[in-house]
């Protein structure tokens, strides 16, 4: 590990310790603490969930249960680029499933997974609010609409 990586980890650990002390003893703190922890680390490391349980005086299984119940939480680091595929009604009718299946095949991952090179994380959502562009996906903050499976390889190349 490079010294810059160690410094970043040390800084995050100090920030996490401050975060824990800020939420200690607050009723209903679990979800906001998980959200803040994920914002800090980019996901919920197992060691962080154990420390959260200790701080809030609840079982680690309760922390894990909440973290796995809500779709907003990630238990593994996300890829450099987040691909979000809309599966709302309009996108569903216009072929969202074909888009998802093609992405899974191209990237060799399932929804919620990250490519082995750490470049992409794939997720499905209920709606992106771009119904007139159906089917739609986002890569990071960029929207791609009127998608076809054949358009996907060239779109992905832009991010490689």
pLDDT in tens, 24-71: 988 899 999 999 999 999 899 999 999 999 999 999 999 999 999 987
Confidence of residue 10 (pLDDT cuts 50, 70, 90): low
Q: What is the mean pLDDT of the chain?
A: 92
- Judge whether residue 155 has pLDDT over 50: yes
Note the pLDDT tens digit of each residue in 72-105. 898 988 899 999 999 999 999 999 999 999 999 9
Domain regions of the chain by residue span: 3-69, 81-157
Q: In the prediction, which pLDDT does 1 show?
A: 46
C-beta separation of 110 from 122 below 8 A = yes
Average pLDDT over residues 126-146: 96
Overall fold of domain 81-157: Glutaredoxin (3.40.30)
Phi, psi of 124 (to 5 degrees): -105, 145
């Amino acid at each position: 590990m490079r010294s810059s990586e160690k410094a970043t980890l040390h800084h995050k650990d100090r920030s996490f310790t401050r975060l824990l002390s800020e939420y200690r003893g607050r009723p209903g703190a679990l979800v906001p603490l998980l959200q803040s922890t994920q914002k800090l680390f980019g996901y919920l490391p197992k060691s962080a969930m154990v420390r959260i349980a200790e701080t809030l005086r609840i079982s680690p299984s309760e922390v894990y249960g909440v973290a796995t119940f809500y779709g907003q939480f990630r238990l593994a680091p996300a890829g450099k680029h987040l691909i979000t595929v809309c599966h709302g009604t309009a996108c569903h009718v216009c072929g969202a499933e074909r888009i998802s299946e093609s992405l899974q095949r191209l990237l060799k991952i399932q929804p919620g997974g990250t490519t082995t090179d750490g470049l992409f994380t794939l997720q499905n959502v209920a709606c992106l609010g771009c119904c007139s562009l159906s089917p739609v996906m986002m890569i990071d903050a960029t929207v791609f609409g009127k998608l076809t499976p054949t358009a996907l390889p060239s779109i992905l190349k832009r991010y490689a």
